[in-house]
Amino acid sequence: MLDIKPPYLLFLGSEMQKEFLKTAYGLVEWRRNDCKGQMRLSADVPDLGLPDLDLEQAVRCGIRTLLVGTACIGGGFSADWIVIFARALEAGLDVAAGQHRLLNQDPLLRATAERTGRNLIDVRVPPKDLIVGTGKKRSGRRVLTVGTDCAVGKKYTALALTAELKRRGTKVDFRASGQTGILIAGRGVPIDAVVCDFTAGAAEMLSPPNSPGHWDVIEGQGSLFHPGYAGVSLGLLHGSQPDAIVVCHDAGRRHILGYPEFSLPTIDECIERNIGCAKLTNPGVRCVGVSINTSTLGGEERRGYLKNVSSRLGIPCVDPLKGGVGELADRIEMEFGS
């Protein structure tokens, strides 16, 4: 498991598009107390509402890690960024990133890190000691967010549910399976970067045995109905051996994102397929609720939609951004005891 030391200075480079800063936005939303500053290379870069700090100011504030908050397609670094990262190491900071291009493969950064004794943390590198999934029953409870598609709120729902259970006094951990989730959690396993023979095994490592009353809330990936990523989702489902699943969906989505020929499955189909597959490693698995992004619906329409889905399926149906995930936590307590 990775260990990224807070507090953080969020590096935004000269990225002007908010969607390519989703890692930084996720960190500000979920790790606000650990985000002590932002570093922008141009005035056009969105303001996250954090103090603008340079490297020396960051060190004086007690910041320990420069965290790359961009998530552009292709996942590269420009040459001037590399120079800044090297200066951050010299100043006494660790540097962490979740890009495809690895910090640790840059000769200047490696040499600088070795000399200064600082750490370069690449989030998108799977652990070295991967195992093939064993299917062995582990102690503790697990809930996994699954989806009708990618980008339907699996990470957000898992984080919100973790926070809600924690608020109620449940022993709970968020288990991150993707790069932004890992940066938010400070640890996790980048499931999508694992060689496929080891996907389920990596998921087993992600949520190890725990005490009987403990819950792991595991961030899902992809969808069993995604023509590219379903294998990732199935390996994660089997290795997670969830006691409960929450199905995530976007009410405005008509087809798989980027795959116009593939209709989204219904929520019912998604529950049925996930439960059918999940029974392999946990015969007692059940669906405890549905989490829907209803941002495309008006207030009245939203309430009707959520109520309709909930009464048809007989389980809670929430929009975590509009009313929270309390009903999901209620259901978990009702089904498994609080």
Nearest to a copy of itself of 47, 197 (CB atom): 197
Nearest to a copy of itself of 61, 132 (CB atom): 132
Burial-class residue 222 by CB neighbours within 10 Å (0-12, 13-18, 19+). buried
From the CB of 204, what's the least distance to a copy of itself, in Å? 9
Nearest to a copy of itself of 109, 278 (CB atom): 278
From the CB of 134, what's the least distance to a copy of itself, in Å? 7
**Contact by Cβ (8 Å): 213, 237:** no
From the CB of 234, what's the least distance to a copy of itself, in Å? 5
The b/e string for 146-156 (b: 16+ C-beta within 10 A; e otherwise) is bbbbbbbbbbb
Nearest to a copy of itself of 65, 233 (CB atom): 233
- In DSSP terms, 141 is beta-bridged to 215
- In DSSP terms, 13 is beta-bridged to 40
Nearest to a copy of itself of 105, 311 (CB atom): 105
At CA 36, angle to CA 32 and CA 42, rounded to 5? Answer: 105
Nearest to a copy of itself of 157, 179 (CB atom): 179
**Contact by Cβ (8 Å): 72, 100:** no
Q: Which residues bind a copy of itself (CB under 8 A)?
A: 132-136, 191-197, 199-201, 224-225, 227-236, 238, 259, 261-262, 273, 276-277, 280-281
Return the structure tokens found at 240. 């997670």
From the CB of 10, what's the least distance to a copy of itself, in Å? 26
From the CB of 260, what's the least distance to a copy of itself, in Å? 10
Q: Order of strands across the sheet with 141-147?
A: 172-175, 215-218, 141-147, 244-250, 286-293, 317-318
**Contact by Cβ (8 Å): 219, 147:** no
Q: What is the dihedral of CA 21, 15, 42, 65, to 10 degrees?
A: 50
From the CB of 205, what's the least distance to a copy of itself, in Å? 13
Nearest to a copy of itself of 54, 269 (CB atom): 269
What one-character DSSP code corresponds to residue 236? H
From the CB of 198, what's the least distance to a copy of itself, in Å? 8
**Contact by Cβ (8 Å): 154, 255:** no
From the CB of 121, what's the least distance to a copy of itself, in Å? 20
Nearest to a copy of itself of 23, 223 (CB atom): 223
Nearest to a copy of itself of 170, 240 (CB atom): 240
From the CB of 97, what's the least distance to a copy of itself, in Å? 18
Distance CA 261, CA 275 (A): 25
What DSSP letter does each residue of 44-86 carry, written as one string?
Answer: TSPP-SSPB--HHHHHHTT--EEEE----TT----HHHHHHHH
Q: What are phi and psi of 164, to 5 degrees?
A: -65, -45
